[in-house]
Amino acid sequence: MRKNNIFLITLIFSGLVFVSTLLVFEDDIKKYIERYAFNLSKDFYFDESSGFFNQFDFSNMDEIYENLPGRIPILEYHIIESPYVYSNYILTGKLKKNIINERFFVTSSQLREQLDILYKNGFRNISLNEYLSLMKGEKKDLARIPPNSKLYVLTFDDATYGQFDFITNNKNDLIIDPECALGILIDFARKHPDFKLNAAFCIDFENVPFLQPEYVEKKLNLLLDYGFEIVNHTKDHKSLTKLFKKNPALVVYQIGKAMEIFESYLGYRTASINKICYPFGDESRELANFIKKINFNGREYRFIAAIDAEGPLAFNPNETNFDPYRIRRVEINPKSFSNLVLYAKGIYKTPPLVKKNSQIGRFVRRSKPATNVILDVIKIP
């Protein structure tokens, strides 16, 4: 019995000595382990700003993005109620705001606040093209997106009130209204360099795009200059589903004629318009198959995707039931913003980093992603 006690005391004492040695020589032991790991050539990308390892090297990031679960909110905005819109259209009775159509209105301050809330809650914006690039086999360029970020897409429909307005300042200079959607996005990008100017503007010709006839060409080209996308929303904003049932040629006209009008303003840049936005969100599987390629006035137009109107989160492009010609969006108002975007469950997130002390490996400096190039065109010559 006495021998057992002596053995137990000896064992405890030896353990205490070992722990004390670890504490005293902790730094030397860490250095030895790091040298050993270095010799094994096990690379980890180290983000110096946050003290985290990125356990993924960039050679396999495409595969990682393709296998992440989750869906993506595609935000759909219509009327941006800026002070300019309120004084020039609502107060004068040119634009009616009532209980029926108020769901289409978002004020300038609400849009600015929503962008800020999303950013502070770990959301980062991607373009429609980047959303589609999540599909297996597609080339991806998402290095600018921080780890553990929730992704979302911005879209604006109908080229309508408050989306892109020119106004004059007190020096009588023509400027982009800082309270219109475009002005708000530009200002937000200046303050947050990783916020990319890549929203999609779904433009039709039922009315003059952005409601200032003398500036249509300048505005459409400026959108592309900044990096925004233009989506074909048809010529007259009529239900393509109803037209398709009457005569498919009517659908061809609505899409093809819009492309001709775009070309009159944009020339060769019209080639960048390769997506369709269904008016009213009216679509069907038959229509989706039909619009992939159309011929109009001797020209062939091909489209790689089409977006819907109202709906929940857009499918992950790698889900089996994903259809690039039936992409869902969330129509934004204060209630839908909270329930279907900010607090929505199951949103796609980029992979997280591993804490610095949980992995041992070689430190590899991670290059910083390119930031926005903000064109100095607030003042319009």
pLDDT of residue 298: 96
pLDDT of residue 139: 83
Predicted TM-score of the model (pTM): 0.80
pLDDT of residue 5: 59
pLDDT of residue 63: 81
Profile the chain (381 residues) by mean pLDDT over runs of 10 residues: 58 57 48 42 43 54 84 98 97 92 95 98 97 90 89 98 96 95 98 96 98 98 98 98 98 99 98 97 95 97 94 91 96 91 94 56 44 48 43
What torsion do the CA atoms of 230, 232, 236, 239 make, to the nearest 10 degrees?
A: -130
> Using N-to-C axis directions, what is the helix angle for 216-226 and 181-191, rounded to 10°?
20
pLDDT of residue 34: 45
| CATH topology classification for 57-350 | TIM Barrel (3.20.20)
pLDDT of residue 9: 62
CA torsion sign, 96 to 98 to 103 to 107?
Answer: positive
Continuous segment of H or E residues that includes residue 226: helix 216-226
Extents of the domains making up the chain: 2-40, 57-350
pLDDT of residue 65: 83
Specify whether the CB–CB gap between 308 and 33 falls below 8 A.
Answer: no
d(CA 108, CA 98): 18
